[in-house]
A and B are shown apart, each in its own frame.
Chain A
Amino acid sequence: MDRRQFVKATAITGASASLTACGNPEEQVIRFISDELLPPGLAVTRRSVCPLCPAGCGVEVRVMEGDVEVERDGVRGVVGTGLAKKLEGQPAHPVNRGRLCARGQAAIQVTYHPDRVRQPLRRTGERGSGQFEPVSWEAAIAEVTARLEAVAAAGNPGAVRFLTRPLRSLRGVVISEFLDRLGAPPPVVHDAFGDALLRQANLESFGLGQLPTLDIAASRYVVSFGADILGTWNSPVSQSVGYGDMRQGRPGIRGKFVQVEFRMSQTGANADQWVPARPGTEGFLALGMARAILASGRRSPSDAGRAGTLIEGWADGLEAYAPDAVERETGVPADTVDQLGREFAENPPAVAVIAGAPLAHTNGLFNALAVNALNALVGSVGVAGGVRFTPVPEGFGGLDESGETVEALARSILDAPVGEEPPVQVLLLHDANPVFGAPPAWRVGDALSRVGFVVSFGPFIDETSILSDWILPDHSFLEAFADHAPEAGTVMAAASAARPAMRPLHDTRDTADVLLDVGRRLEFETPMEWETYEDVLRERFDALPPPEGFDSAWIAAQATGVWVGPEAASAGAPPEARPRAYRPPEFDGGADAFPYHFLPYVSQAFLDGSVAHLPWLQELPDVVTTAMWSSWVELNPRTAAELGVGEGDLVEIRSAHGAIQAPAVIFPGIAPDAIAMPLGQGHENFTRYASGRGTNPIRVLGPTVEPETGAWAWAATRVTVTRLEGAGDLIKFGGALREHEDLER
């Protein structure tokens, strides 16, 4: 079909054009037999799982009949089918209990996005030019099969690599098995702002290498060290539901919430007490609280068990962490340290949590181990109101970023001498965007350009998939089988499952089915035992004990949306680990040349940028600044005055790695020697809504890592700030700062 026909076809299905179609056979609207018969005007409810973050909230999909434009055998027309209209939380889902966050509400726009890849594509222009032509699925699958066959035939299957974002679905099993049969290494999982370091700390402290489940509905005292528990981190809806009940769900009991951070987050705004500690010193403060508890005699060092033994000086009562020492190191007044320690011990169940910026420092692992020890000291591990761990059903582990990093992958390619075949010859990409989301020093884009054959399965063209040679687009989550086993957010084991909520709008295929198809054609020595992805789901779910009233867990999960299992997480034996001593954080850029801490943060609307393509989220006013469609830099009013910067003025941020420009927002909740900036904007190629909009703060971040885990220390860069001429593009919904008292009665 050419452009002309397309324009015609879209015009005649428009609301006002039906009359012009009469009497003109060329432009008659063809109505095909409906794909799906639903009662007109009535809604049916189906289920799915929100795909936008790893939390895995269970979704109810309101489906109604509607008309979709299609092309059948070269003829354009319309067909009646079931269309998703609205997403709600599943009331009985153990993670989100009927609720959904702002991003989850917007997830439906993924399915109806105008810039989705609608059929397989082959690159026609230079790599990265964005020039592709449509091809058939048969041609695309034949090409991928031939390329993989050639590499395998040359005895080099290790040169095939798979790069994905974290997955909590059984698609991870298909990917891993596929690579295993092929003889290729396990997939590389990319999440630059992920939690690999926290999993490592929890493994060392508690023998469980997973994220914690916060049971805060039952807590009386919650201390969060930088964790955005009510916004973006871990299982935000589950945590928000618990938070509401922690505040007002128990007659006569209102839990206290303390947030420790250097820049006030949406979560921090809700705290009863907000404690700014210098970046990278949060673990020192946690041990100051622990010392206060030990010194009071309420607890003894051995109460912390193994978690305590990982901290040097723990057995001797943490003498190095006396209040005045804590004040010197962290900037938190000595009295406050004592008060926090006392309240933490005296209000059980009390829980501490650490995530985000405090872990993204050169001493991040120590900070995490310190908070783990604090929890263990007051007996808050594995108890109601404390830190829990979700039991993950056997065979549902998912893919997380604990294996080889994108940095290592890129380095292996770049280290190959020029002119020689690099160690990666075929790269399969699945919805990961490290070209946008990794620090420039990793040179992921350069590395990918050297790979001979790059295939993307992602449903959108972004900064990474634009470098691919072929695109084999996946369904949207509403068009495919959905499944998810949460790592956190529920004290019960859970595994969600749902059949497709609607038919595919475009000529797309489930990536798992594509891999199974390619696998069959490659004729592995031991073939994969599944025909379709549905077979994988049936096999894994039916290995779970069926709930009462059902013969099969697979049937039960589809009928109810989620399989829920017994309440028990079994810790393995923790690995050998030695006690660690506090080391002050080290920064990328000296304090003399670069006077400001630079704190990028995961955005409430866009996360790390992976959902910046959804128009509802672009127009969602940021809750703290009310900015829409924008990037901005947050400056303390005093800093702004010193620099002569007003609201909306353009400033330049410069680190040792580069410079970016963005408009300033005067922000009372940040320390004068720090500036902050949300992640997510500054896309070069990510649909019409995000491309060319705002600034990507990752471009100035240094590649410093936490030395023990290799985790990227993304909060450890220092910068300069300079005022530039003129104003930046800052669009705000609300007016200037207003004092609360104006509106109080």
Chain B
Amino acid sequence: MPRWGMTVDLDRCTGCEACVTACHAENNIPTVGPEEAARGRAMHWIRVERYWEGEFPDVRLKFRPVFCQQCDNAPCEPVCPTYASYHTDDGLNAQVYNRCIGTRYCANACSYNVRFFNFHNPEWDRPLDLQLNPDVSVREVGVMEKCTFCIQRIQAARIEARADDEEGAIEDGALQPACAQSCTANALVFGDLDDPESRASRLSRSPRGGKLLEELGAEPSVTYLQKGDWYESGGG
């Protein structure tokens, strides 16, 4: 059984937000409109956070894509009274929509603010609904939703792999969530962390690597690689 994880190379990430729109397109995430957005109800399973440092002219701005960290020791899971938030064998914090009764305890418990609540039934102005991905269920009012690492793609790849051979091993790189597939600078890399040879696994062991809010002990499956330093190559 693989253990899915992601690495985010902050030295590659440009803040272009291709991941954000790609996620909307893949996962049937509703657009809530300006009035609801102003109430803080916009849904983005992945977002790019920005941090300012310093003052003009010595000012820096840094980006960090943040999405569900698929924690091994996830604070969102034990608080759910209906087991709607649960841990899958391949390391995902899954959300079972038809178990969810909307207590929102999980969103309160989450350290990364990546869970989104459906305050309304989602609506699409026709014929925008024709774009909806049939592989992903739309979520009703009262249900919590979040990044799934594109579990529909994981399932499809698993079925495909089993059809090809008994073991059903998914080749490294054959499977990508929508965000990583669109990522213009190749900053997001997805793969099996239990396979020491997978790209994600190798990158997660980089000396530049670290976890977001590691001290909280949630043991995220996402590794952030810090920006590198430039040093002069000394001629050429």
Contact = CB atoms under 8 A, between A and B. Distances in A.
A740 B182 contact: no
Interface in A37-93: 41, 64, 66, 68-69, 83-89
A527 B21 CA distance: 46
A99 B233 contact: no
A265 to B, nearest CB: 10
B20 A621 contact: yes
A90 to B, nearest CB: 12
Contacts of B234: 346
Given A347-B236, A619-B37, A86 B128 contact: no
Given A114-B125, A734-B49, A105 B14 contact: no
A669 B18 contact: no
Interface stretch (B52-60, B75-83, B90-98, B192-200): B52-60
A106 interface: yes
Interface stretch (B102-110, B140-148, B162-170, B209-217): B209-217
B151 interface: no
Interface stretch (A409-417, A579-587, A622-630): A622-630
A744 B62 CA distance: 12
Nearest to A257: B230
A343 interface: yes
Contacts of A343: 232
Contact of A99 (B31, B182, B232, B236): B182
A621 B63 contact: no
Contact of A616 (B15, B25, B34, B178): B25
Contacts of B134: 41, 64, 66, 85
B15 A254 contact: no
Contacts of A668: 52, 54-56, 59, 61
Interface string A598-629: 00000010000000000111111101101011
A650 B85 CA distance: 43
B233 A347 contact: yes
Nearest to A10: B126
B59 A274 contact: yes
B228 A109 contact: no
A85 B24 CA distance: 12
Contact of A240 (B47, B127, B184, B210): B184
Interface residues of A, number: 94
A743 B213 contact: yes
B128 A85 contact: no
B48 interface: yes
B34 A254 contact: no
B21 A620 contact: yes
A507 B91 CA distance: 49
A243 B14 contact: yes
A99 B181 CA distance: 7
Contact of A86 (B133, B183, B187, B232): B133
Given A108-B25, A220-B236, A669-B52, A231 B62 contact: no
B12 interface: yes
Nearest to A239: B184
B235 interface: yes
A88 to B, nearest CB: 6
B130 A83 contact: yes
Interface in B2-31: 9, 11-12, 14-18, 20-22, 24-26, 31
B51 A604 contact: no
B52 A114 contact: no
A671 B56 contact: yes
Interface string B38-72: 10001010011111111111011111100000000
Contact of A745 (B48, B125, B214): B214
A7 interface: no
Given A243-B185, A253-B233, A102 B37 contact: no
Contacts of A113: 128
Given A99-B182, A346-B236, A733-B47, A112 B9 contact: no
Main secondary structure of the interface of A (DSSP, over half): mixed
A737 interface: yes
A317 interface: no
A347 B234 CA distance: 7
Contacts of A664: none
A102 B127 contact: no
A269 B186 contact: no
Contact of A623 (B12, B25, B33, B63): B63
B61 A669 contact: yes
Contacts of B175: none
B32 interface: yes
Contact of B31 (A87, A253, A619): A619
A264 B11 CA distance: 18
Interface string A627-640: 01100000011100
B131 interface: yes
Contacts of A96: 184
Contacts of B232: 343, 346-347
Contacts of B9: 244, 247-248
A248 B14 CA distance: 13
Nearest to A738: B51
A113 B22 CA distance: 17
Contact of A269 (B63, B182, B215): B63
Contact of B14 (A104, A108, A270, A731): A270
A99 B184 contact: yes
A101 B25 CA distance: 13
B64 to A, nearest CB: 8
Contacts of B213: 743
B185 A616 contact: no
A230 interface: yes
A103 B182 CA distance: 11
B130 A68 contact: yes
Given A255-B230, A731-B38, 18 more contacts: A68-B130, A105-B25, A220-B233, A230-B15, A244-B184, A269-B60, A274-B57, A274-B59, A618-B34, A620-B20, A626-B50, A629-B33, A669-B61, A733-B47, A734-B47, A734-B49, A740-B52, A745-B215
26 contacts: A69-B127, A86-B26, A87-B25, A88-B182, A99-B182, A100-B184, A102-B17, A109-B131, A112-B129, A240-B14, A244-B12, A269-B60, A269-B63, A272-B230, A274-B57, A346-B236, A621-B42, A623-B16, A668-B52, A669-B59, A669-B61, A693-B34, A733-B37, A741-B53, A743-B64, A745-B211
Interface of B: 9, 11-12, 14-18, 20-22, 24-26, 31-34, 37-38, 42, 44, 47-57, 59-64, 125-134, 178, 181-187, 210-215, 228-230, 232-236
Which 4 A/B pairs are nearest by Cβ-Cβ distance? A244-B185, A740-B51, A240-B184, A105-B21
Interface of A: 10, 41, 64, 66, 68-69, 83-89, 96, 98-106, 108-109, 111-114, 220, 230-231, 236-237, 240-241, 243-245, 247-248, 253-256, 264, 266-270, 272, 274, 276, 343, 346-348, 505, 604, 615-621, 623-624, 626, 628-629, 636-638, 668-672, 688, 693, 729, 731, 733-734, 737-743, 745
